[in-house]
Amino acid sequence: MSAEHELLLLPLALLVLQASLCHGACVEVDSDTEAVASEGFKLGCISCKMRGEVPATATVKWYFKASDELDFSHLYSYGDQMGDIIDPRFYERLYWNGSKHTRDLQDGSIYILNMTYNDTGTYQCIFNRVLMYPNYEFQTNTSKTIVINVVPRLTRGMASILSEVMMYVSIIGLQFWLLVEMIYCYRKISVAGEEALRESAAEYLAIASESKDNCAGVQVAE
């Protein structure tokens, strides 16, 4: 394979890789930590299953410790496609917002309606996953801790806003760079092809001229 073709395949491979990451990939994104009073709030908890080819089952348990409490209390459990609210403080306002089945459970997020200042505190999400190999089962536990502060209105920090803007700028810049690389490689290959055609035509004309001269020399000798 020529160097020009390798240069063309490189950006294409990057595009394919980016597309594969955008579809069906699991990314462990941290939960927001600032909730607004009287509004709904999603507590994010994602635990990616690293061995995608291995079947697994999982359950999720949530625990809560208010800002004026010393110990965690069992808040919520999810397993076998069923959720159970344990803490009476969250009755009728807590809903499952994660994966819909336990076979490929990676998102254990919950959603709380009508947040109050009493909901300020520390939340703990624990994933219990069982990987089912042909001859044995392997159990793993993942714990994530989220400190939530309930405020009258949302106040995003300037650093958070700038980081989000820079992320989108980086994505757009990468897309533009890939497009420029593809156009450059395509033009380079086209120019190389045209030069090869011109060289082939010149060689053909030279051979034809030489053959004609040889034929003329034979006729004179006769």
Residue pLDDT, tens place only, 21-60: 444 568 888 888 999 999 999 999 999 887 777 888 899 9
The arithmetic mean of pLDDT across residues 130-143, rounded, is 92
In angstroms, rounded to a whole number, what is the distance separating the alpha carbons of residues 23 and 168? 18
Residue 37, CA distances (Å) to 13, 61, 115 in order:
47, 24, 5
- Residue 50, Ramachandran bin (φ over 0: left; ψ between -120 and 50: alpha; else beta): alpha
24's CB contacts (< 8 A; 6+ apart) are none
Check residue 29 and report its DSSP letter. Answer: P
Higher pLDDT, 40 or 156: 40
First to last CA, the chain: 50
Residue 128, CA distances (Å) to 60, 72, 77 in order:
6, 18, 11
The arithmetic mean of pLDDT across residues 149-176, rounded, is 75
For residue 7, what pLDDT band results from cuts at 50, 70 and 90? very low
Write out the DSSP string of 79-121.
ETTEEEE-SGGGTTTEEE-S-S-STT--B--EEESS--GGG-E
For residue 139, what pLDDT band results from cuts at 50, 70 and 90? very high
Radius of gyration of the chain (CA): 32
User: Is the entire prediction scored with pTM above 0.75?
Assistant: no
- Using the predicted structure, report yes or no on whether residue 9 has a pLDDT greater than 60: no
